[in-house]
Amino acid sequence: MDKIRSSEITPEHIYLGRRQFLVGAGALTASLVFLGGCRRLSELAPTPEADFCGSATAGATSDELGDPLSACDAATHYNNFYEFSLEKDDVAELARGFKTSPWTVQVGGLVNKPKTFDVDDLRRNFPPEERVYRMRCVEAWSVVVPWLGFPLAKLLKEVEPTSKAKYVRFESLHDPKQMPGQKDRSFQWPYIEGLRLDEAMHDLTLLATGMYGKPMPPQNGAPIRLVVPWKYGFKNIKSIVKIDLVEEMPTSLWTAFAPQEYGFYANVNPDVSHPRWSQSSERRLGERARRETIPFNGYAEKVARLYEGMDLRTSY
């Protein structure tokens, strides 16, 4: 059991939150053991799922840096999706049967043409393209995924943001009947995330409706989720039902929960440690040795200009 570092099995995001509810070191130790301190590696290993990964395909075999795609089984069985679970290895099972059709995304706020889009129409109107992106979780693990999706900019142009719009606010489904994790009231549901308008309009910013050549599986944020590859994973909000153009910087679920730990920008930055761990390296799913974390997760050439003049050590 000492082979597994606790950072790999304890949900880092909520460690502090849990601790606030515990009294004394005994309770703390007990809870860490309860959270999985004695699990064996075999239990964390993904179970093959013929219905999804068995027929998975991808046009590419690596990203633009030459990093190989992560195994489909890994990317679909090691998930953060707190609406279902605080663990990562049981999300796929808990989300099985999650109802993702019909599904609409309501787009409004500071726009000339507010509109509610049906996800099937979105797939028809904006044909999905494959984009291989690295995703780097704030907990210091990462994965390389062939997403299928379209640039968020295409959708935003259709609704015509007004000149007052400065930020985009995203909202996930709130449905405690289907999502057992939403009964945990230490979080302010629904899950909310936000981007500055220029970040949202950047060509790398994707609305993904599939991965590995297939429609998005529930555990990865079906039917439609955000992918912003230069930011920490938590910005990549899943199962989106609402998008609003707004004037003020939105408060995300994570900034509301622990503002000293999770900022609005959340750009991947190996030089700025999380208050409780270093961000200088990461564990790629399926690999043994740790990798160095790259500024902006390797996308600096395309996005660093968005942050010119900002102090990247403090603007987290």
Rounded to an integer, what distance in angstroms lies between the CA atom of residue 123 and that of residue 104?
12
Tokens linked to 239 = 């199962």
Q: What is the phi-psi region of residue 212: left when phi exceeds 0, alpha when psi lies from -120 to 50, beta otherwise?
A: left
Q: Is 79 in the site for ligand MTE (CB under 6 A)?
A: yes
Query: For the chain, first and last CA: distance in Å?
Result: 34
Rounded to an integer, what distance in angstroms lies between the CA atom of residue 47 and that of residue 196?
38
The alpha carbon dihedral of 152, 303, 79, 250 has a sign of negative
Q: Is 237 in the site for ligand MTE (CB under 6 A)?
A: yes
Q: Is 243 in the site for ligand MTE (CB under 6 A)?
A: no
CB of 47 vs ligand MTE, minimal distance in Å = 16
Residue selected from 91, 94, 132, 137 as contacting Mo ion according to rule CB under 5 A:
137
CA dihedral 152, 136, 179, 170 (to 10 degrees): -30
> In the complex with Mo ion, which residue's Cβ is closer, 73 or 261?
261
Question: CA angle at residue 208 from 210 to 67, to 5 degrees?
Answer: 80
Residue selected from 11, 109, 210, 233 as contacting ligand MTE according to rule CB under 6 A:
233
Q: Is 82 in the site for ligand MTE (CB under 6 A)?
A: yes
Q: Is 234 in the site for Mo ion (CB under 5 A)?
A: yes
Cβ count near 242 (within 10 Å): 19
Cβ proximity of 110 and 245 under 8 Å: yes
The residues in 131-190 that bind ligand MTE, with binding defined as CB under 6 A, are 135, 137, 143, 172
Q: Where are the alpha helices (DSSP H) in the chain?
A: 6-9, 12-20, 24-32, 41-44, 72-75, 91-94, 119-125, 152-159, 197-201, 253-257, 300-303
Rounded to an integer, what distance in angstroms lies between the CA atom of residue 241 and that of residue 222?
11
Residue 79 touches which member of ligand MTE, Mo ion, none, C-beta under 5-8 Å by kind: ligand MTE
Residue selected from 10, 85, 178, 236 as contacting ligand MTE according to rule CB under 6 A:
236
Q: Which stretch binds ligand MTE (CB under 6 A): 2-10, 41-49, 78-86, 297-305?
A: 78-86
Residue 98 touches which member of Mo ion, ligand MTE, none, C-beta under 5-8 Å by kind: none
Which H helix or E strand runs over 244? strand 240-246
Largest CA distance in the chain: 57
**Residues β-bridged to residue 195:** 168
Q: Which stretch binds ligand MTE (CB under 6 A): 74-82, 199-207, 243-251, 274-282?
A: 74-82
Residue 237 touches which member of Mo ion, ligand MTE, none, C-beta under 5-8 Å by kind: ligand MTE
Residue 220 touches which member of ligand MTE, Mo ion, none, C-beta under 5-8 Å by kind: ligand MTE
**Residues β-bridged to residue 283:** 141
Pattern 185-224, binding to ligand MTE, x per CB under 6 A? Answer: ------x----------------------------xx---
Residue selected from 80, 209, 255, 297 as contacting ligand MTE according to rule CB under 6 A:
80
CB of 306 vs ligand MTE, minimal distance in Å = 21
Tokens linked to 203 = 């060509």
Q: Which stretch binds Mo ion (CB under 5 A): 17-25, 86-94, 170-178, 233-241?
A: 233-241
Residue 85 touches which member of Mo ion, ligand MTE, none, C-beta under 5-8 Å by kind: none
Where does this chain bind Mo ion (CB under 5 A)?
80, 137, 233-234
Where does this chain bind ligand MTE (CB under 6 A)?
79-83, 135, 137, 143, 172, 191, 220-221, 233-234, 236-239
